[in-house]
Structure 1
Amino acid sequence: MQTRRHYTTRVAALALAAAASALGCSAQADQTTDKIRSALQSRLGIDAGDIKGITRAPMPGLYEINLGTQIVYSDANGDYVLNGELIDTRAHRNLTESRLNEINRVDFAKLPLDNAVKVVKGDGKRKMAVFSDPNCPYCHQLESTLKSIDNVTVYTFLYPVLSPDSTAKAKQIWCSSDRAKAWESWMVDRKAPTAAGTCDTAAIDSNLALGAKMNVTGTPTVILADGTRLPGAVSAERLERGLNGAH
């Protein structure tokens, strides 16, 4: 009959073996991800800071490379890279899109909304934020689309990244007595802002720093109340679905 002491000793040994095994797997995973990172940096010229993370993908033998606003896949050696979407055919689910949404999800409540141009439509119950450049054609397109969306509060973070004129216009809009009117007049009706642009524009500098931190690499970038990002000039139908789902 096994004594209590022998039983305890055996359990402890099993626990140590399991821990050692886990550490071995972790070390192996670190070696693999380090190998992939090194290969991609040296062969493709990817900067170290551009690779946000490397993890195992749901598909055996494949690794997910998080590039911030994009996901690509690699084998364990970094010899081959796939640039495309990984689809779960059983669940009819786009795994790449789901992971991007997860990785880039924003805590809406922590956005510095005081640094945004606020436009309220209807009851304003639904909420969204947009990083937008005054001279971005797709931003103008999005603003035209927003004319057909009601019962929403839109917080526009002026994000002048295209040209010096974008910066000048952003400052003029921010310094206007009615920022919302100045923004919509320019973006929808093409009536240039007339303010001098010499007020305190620290908010715009903060927006640029915030966007860089959040990997906002293109305009417009829409952020819904649930933290989901919608890049580009999305359609009214897509916006409505997103707003209703996030509300």
Structure 2
Amino acid sequence: MSKKTWRAMLAGVCVAALSLAVVDASEPAAKAQKPAAKAAKNESAAEADMRKVVEQVVTEPGAIDSVRKTSYGGFYEAVLSNGDIVYVDPTGTFLISGSLIDIKAKKNVTAARVNELQRIDFSDLPLANAVKQVRGNGKRVLVTFEDPNCGYCKKLAKDVVNLKDTTIYTFMIPILAADSADKSKAIWCAQDRAKAWNDWMVEGKAPTGSGSCENPIAKNAELAHKLRVSGTPTMFLIDGNRLGGYVALAELDKAINDATAGAKK
């Protein structure tokens, strides 16, 4: 079964109360309870059984990163290699895709879990491979992953000009257009990278030069893949939390402040 096929299946039926799509695992729960032949390390027997349930639908080799029992309704959570999360009911009969909502607590359980899984160790980032800008005293820190042909990145760049007391590290990743890599390399090879970046992103002045110097663009693309960055802009804060997509300046400023305060504790 292809990835598109199982995604289409998972999106089939909505349950308004939990905002979920439910798929019958197509095999009786009794069969699902047979111990998995090769349970993933640290998974209990029950979790290994539920892995086999998920494998009935998500058939790509290596597509399931982990399975664990949650404290919500006895559901089992399966984290897929693409970062998606699906759930299996306690009987092993239904596989559920979508946001699991704790109605009483008014909490999006799935969103909170995704944020936890996507959190990074900020100190592991190879900041030397990013275009560096310092605004004001530069005491706060923001990391962005951007494509020079990204419209929302250009909107963000115009905002960042007004961001106070922040050091911004931008990893250029060519994912949107055929010439994204050429523009990224030309900006990196410029005498003043930050100026070349802003000339293009803010002023619309195309970068010049051959872009033939040694550059980290390919490594940045590998890093983005490792961090599951699939869209631009994607930002990371000093506490390791991720912000996906364009964020308005006031909201971004608050997020940076909160992350800075949290990192100091």
Q: Give the TM-score range, shorter chain.
A: 0.7 to 0.9
Task: Establish whether residue 81 from structure 1 lines up as the match of residue 96 from structure 2.
Answer: yes
The 2-side partners of 1:70 and 1:237 are apart by 29
- Which of residues 208, 217, 233 is equivalent to 2:230? 217
CA 1:143–1:78 in 2, change beyond 3 Å: closer, same or farther?
A: farther
CA 1:237–1:93 in 2, change beyond 3 Å: closer, same or farther?
A: farther
Instruction: Give 1:182's aligned residue.
Output: 196
- 3-state SS of 1:189 partner: coil
Task: Establish whether residue 41 from structure 1 lines up as the match of residue 35 from structure 2.
Answer: no
CA 1:150–1:49 in 2, change beyond 3 Å: closer, same or farther?
A: farther
The 2-side partners of 1:69 and 1:219 are apart by 17
- 3-state SS of 2:179 partner: helix
The 1-side partners of 2:172 and 2:243 are apart by 17
Instruction: Give 1:170's aligned residue.
Output: 184
- Which of residues 207, 210, 219 is equivalent to 2:220? 207
Residues 220, 233 of structure 1: 8 Å contact kept:
yes
Task: Establish whether residue 97 from structure 1 lines up as the match of residue 111 from structure 2.
Answer: yes
The TM-score with structure 2 as length reference comes to: 0.76
The 2-side partners of 1:229 and 1:29 are apart by 29
Q: For this pair of structures, how many residues does the alignment match?
A: 216
Instruction: Give the alignment's Cα RMSD to 1 decimal.
Output: 1.9
**Sequence identity of aligned pairs in percent?**
42
The TM-score with structure 1 as length reference comes to: 0.81
How far apart are residue 130 of structure 1 and its match? 0.5
Equivalences for residues 139-150 of structure 1 within 5 A: 139-150=153-164
Larger radius of gyration: 1
How far apart are residue 110 of structure 1 and its match? 1.2
Residues 50, 76 of structure 2: 8 Å contact kept:
no
Structure 1, unmatched stretches of 5+, are 1-24
Structure 2, unmatched stretches of 5+, are 1-42, 261-265
